[in-house]
Chain A
């Protein structure tokens, strides 16, 4: 209480002493950040915060010249709790914007809060497709700086065609994220002549794939997987253990830098797609990886990179807006006008407020990278699809005319 009083007095004195000009520079940008700091996603939640905080630390706690008050709130990985905390940040802390949210379901839950409270919400990880697609008009104060679930997997479908794969089995975790990743892959893969011959949906958190692996069709020539958390570790181990040698084309999250250090040599050669890899060989990314690793003792994954980039984006936008926060509508316009050079490569917003970004087809290799002296697993980039939009090559109107990717869309035409 006394501290608050002090602040007020101090602020008052400053305003008197320095006149009006000082007010603009002394203005503070209040950012509310929502991430699961406790619960089963606590480690991911920490990576998210670390990415954002690292950018702040590198820039003296300022974005675009404004002092930043960065308030982290814990949503425990529950959409309900996320909504409560977002309201707390808006009502009590009077934040200018809400950032974060890990799960797609949290993203869906937070977007309406931004509408009802007329506060900017930046989704820096959460990837639920429809928020920047068919439901966009409901959420005028919503921007995404990360990705849609299907965005990197549509190019992967093309890549599979180009590399001679004909028949693919899809096995993906049984929830919206699994459907959207697998759907994006299947749609593009079948449009360029491939066939998805089998679709299997193991429940989220499956640890024993014994019942699924023997049912794989014998005539397939690759497997597409979306595995999250412990599933990502178990599946390749059990698949190879069962003697199955089919190549894997995976979702990026099955092999991202968050799980990679815990994987064994059985994953070498597995291919996956994402909008980031720690092994992107650019000076910008190398500097980012080295700084992050020096600070936190591990290689950054997309959870950290996405938030680092979000902070960078805010920095540029505040600068461009003249060192102040101009309100959500204006700020979104400024953000949309910025072309960013991030660790993950060039990023900009499309007209639906979702990033257009590079997609990297990655292969797990054991090698030395960036001058580190140990052999480690890295996601080597084997092909880059530059400036990929969430609508891939279909165009916005044609893409939005189809339903959102789901368990039953696209239908499995070639499964008997």
Chain B
């Protein structure tokens, strides 16, 4: 079995275990896991940009936000998306997120590095401003309350059912993104991350590559937003605010950029500390801060870096052994 297959097996096994264990661990844990998984889709979309393409986006909350607001507005104003049409809303959320990314990409992709970061930040704030000020549609500062979750044979009001739905979306998203980054297209993204100029000289249209992945990330952001809206039953400008973007970026860095699994682990840790530890102790913020600082200082590749490093060490050890064996073999 190749190493890649082993990794996939491990992830699948962990997912299977989670799907079995979580529903039996108390309704608050189910709720937290649901929230974390919906958010992890956003974090993974950030990872597509940051980890695989080398674009640090500060505006990912924008696509998340339009997905969430779309769901809430449709549900409350025209009662759309509370039955089978929920799936339509999912598609619309993805398309809206992608469309917005297509628009924003035209401005943002021209730049790189810090400038890209600033432009995406500014565009994200535009969406926040809209959510905050367009009172008649978004309810302004007060946000929108949704009256219930969709029911299409499956009653999503049930927390466990809803958990499995979000879980499915999460797993499928991860699989799709995994296929994407392993594809030739994903490989050329990695090439852009490593050295864009060389890719250009090799004849790749790097602008188009970045533009396309930006749109794809936007689509996943929109999907995460749709799920998020139903998880909370409430959408407010707080969903779109800058800290949501920053959080998703930090989660990716914490878990390890360029791994997808890392983004998920980062999300799980931040949610665990912020929403579970905070119910136990008042000094949870110090723990969260400490984790961030230690990660930056000692694990620049994130928590997944530990795995990568041990993996390398094992490999080099076995390499060391091989020549010895060869040498001891009589020729």
Q: Chain A: residues with CB nearer than 8 A to chain B?
A: 37-38, 73-74, 78-81, 83-85, 87-88, 91-92, 104-105, 108-109, 111-113, 116, 128, 138, 174-177, 406-407
> Counting CB contacts under 8 A, is B312 at the interface?
no
Complex contact A175–B141 (CB within 8 A): yes
Complex contact A83–B238 (CB within 8 A): no
Complex contact B145–A108 (CB within 8 A): yes
Pairs A–B under 8 Å by Cβ, sample size 14? A37-B282, A80-B238, A84-B32, A84-B232, A87-B27, A87-B31, A91-B27, A105-B141, A108-B234, A109-B145, A116-B233, A176-B140, A176-B142, A407-B135
Chain B residues with CB below 8 A from A73, complex form: 278-279
Complex contact B239–A80 (CB within 8 A): yes
* Interface of B, helix, strand, loop or mixed by DSSP: helix
Residue ID in chain A nearest B271 by CB atoms: A84
Complex contact B233–A112 (CB within 8 A): yes
Closest CB of chain A to B312's CB: distance in Å? 39
Chain B residues with CB below 8 A from A80, complex form: 232, 234, 236, 238-239
- Tell me whether A111 and B145 are in contact in the complex, defined as CB-CB below 8 angstroms, given that A80-B239, A83-B234 are known contacts: yes
Contact of A85 among B26, B141, B157, B279 (CB under 8 A): B279
Query: What per-residue 1/0 map shows which CB atoms of B234-245 lie under 8 Å from chain A?
Result: 101011000000
> Counting CB contacts under 8 A, is B155 at the interface?
no
Complex contact A109–B35 (CB within 8 A): no
- Tell me whether A92 and B27 are in contact in the complex, defined as CB-CB below 8 angstroms, given that A84-B35, A104-B141 are known contacts: yes
Complex contact A128–B233 (CB within 8 A): no
Complex contact B236–A79 (CB within 8 A): yes
- Tell me whether A88 and B279 are in contact in the complex, defined as CB-CB below 8 angstroms, given that A83-B232, A109-B236 are known contacts: yes
Query: What per-residue 1/0 map shows which CB atoms of B124-147 lie under 8 Å from chain A?
Result: 000000001101000011110111
Complex contact A176–B141 (CB within 8 A): yes
Closest CB of chain B to A125's CB: distance in Å? 15
Complex contact B31–A81 (CB within 8 A): no
Complex contact B278–A74 (CB within 8 A): yes
Chain A residues with CB below 8 A from B132, complex form: 175
Q: Give the complex CA separation of A80 and B239 in angstroms.
A: 8
Complex contact A112–B234 (CB within 8 A): yes
Given contacts A78-B238, A88-B275, A176-B142, 6 further A-B contacts (CB under 8 A): A74-B282, A84-B32, A84-B35, A87-B31, A88-B28, A92-B27
Chain A residues with CB below 8 A from B234, complex form: 79-80, 83, 108-109, 112
Complex contact A108–B143 (CB within 8 A): yes
Q: Give the complex CA separation of A393 and B240 in angstroms.
A: 40
Closest CB of chain A to B289's CB: distance in Å? 12
Complex contact A84–B31 (CB within 8 A): yes
Chain B residues with CB below 8 A from A407, complex form: 135
**B217-269 at interface with A (beta carbon < 8 Å):** 232-234, 236, 238-239
Closest CB of chain A to B330's CB: distance in Å? 62
- Tell me whether A105 and B27 are in contact in the complex, defined as CB-CB below 8 angstroms, given that A88-B279, A176-B140 are known contacts: no
Contact of B26 among A79, A91, A174 (CB under 8 A): A91
Residue ID in chain B nearest A201 by CB atoms: B133
Contact of B143 among A92, A109, A113 (CB under 8 A): A109
Residue ID in chain B nearest A39 by CB atoms: B285
Closest CB of chain B to A32's CB: distance in Å? 11
Q: Give the complex CA separation of A379 and B234 in angstroms.
A: 38
Complex contact A105–B236 (CB within 8 A): yes
Complex contact B238–A91 (CB within 8 A): no
Closest CB of chain B to A347's CB: distance in Å? 25
Residue ID in chain B nearest A174 by CB atoms: B133
Residue ID in chain A nearest B283 by CB atoms: A38
> Counting CB contacts under 8 A, is B148 at the interface?
yes
Chain A residues with CB below 8 A from B32, complex form: 84
- Chain B's interface size range is 20 to 34
Residue ID in chain B nearest A91 by CB atoms: B27
Chain A residues with CB below 8 A from B236, complex form: 79-80, 105, 109
Chain A residues with CB below 8 A from B26, complex form: 91-92
Contact of A108 among B142, B157, B285 (CB under 8 A): B142
Chain B residues with CB below 8 A from A38, complex form: 285
Closest CB of chain A to B208's CB: distance in Å? 37
Q: Give the complex CA separation of A38 and B274 in angstroms.
A: 11
Most buried by A among B238, B239, B282: B238
Chain B residues with CB below 8 A from A87, complex form: 27-28, 31
Q: Give the complex CA separation of A104 and B233 in angstroms.
A: 17
Q: Give the complex CA separation of A37 and B282 in angstroms.
A: 9
Q: Give the complex CA separation of A73 and B282 in angstroms.
A: 9
Residue ID in chain B nearest A82 by CB atoms: B234
Q: Give the complex CA separation of A40 and B172 in angstroms.
A: 38
Q: Give the complex CA separation of A104 and B285 in angstroms.
A: 25
Contact of A112 among B35, B141, B145 (CB under 8 A): B145
Most buried by B among A37, A79, A128, A406: A79
Chain B residues with CB below 8 A from A79, complex form: 143, 234, 236, 238
Complex contact A83–B142 (CB within 8 A): no
Chain B residues with CB below 8 A from A138, complex form: 147
Which 7 residue pairs are nearest across A and B when measured between Cβ atoms?
A91-B27, A175-B141, A92-B28, A109-B234, A88-B28, A108-B142, A176-B141
Complex contact A175–B27 (CB within 8 A): no
Chain B residues with CB below 8 A from A112, complex form: 145-147, 233-234
Complex contact B275–A84 (CB within 8 A): yes
Q: Give the complex CA separation of A80 and B32 in angstroms.
A: 12
Q: Give the complex CA separation of A112 and B233 in angstroms.
A: 8
Query: What per-residue 1/0 map shows which CB atoms of B180-191 lie under 8 Å from chain A?
Result: 000000000000
Residue ID in chain B nearest A84 by CB atoms: B275
Complex contact B148–A175 (CB within 8 A): no
Closest CB of chain B to A354's CB: distance in Å? 17
Q: Give the complex CA separation of A88 and B31 in angstroms.
A: 9
**B96-144 at interface with A (beta carbon < 8 Å):** 132-133, 135, 140-143
Q: Give the complex CA separation of A81 and B32 in angstroms.
A: 11
Most buried by A among B142, B147, B233, B279: B142
Most buried by B among A37, A109, A113, A177: A109
Closest CB of chain B to A239's CB: distance in Å? 25
Q: Give the complex CA separation of A91 and B26 in angstroms.
A: 8
Closest CB of chain A to B73's CB: distance in Å? 16
Closest CB of chain A to B65's CB: distance in Å? 12
Q: Give the complex CA separation of A321 and B132 in angstroms.
A: 43
Q: Give the complex CA separation of A108 and B145 in angstroms.
A: 7
Closest CB of chain B to A230's CB: distance in Å? 18
Complex contact A83–B233 (CB within 8 A): yes
Complex contact A81–B275 (CB within 8 A): yes
Q: Give the complex CA separation of A80 and B143 in angstroms.
A: 10
Complex contact B28–A104 (CB within 8 A): no
Closest CB of chain A to B155's CB: distance in Å? 13
Most buried by A among B157, B239, B278, B285: B278
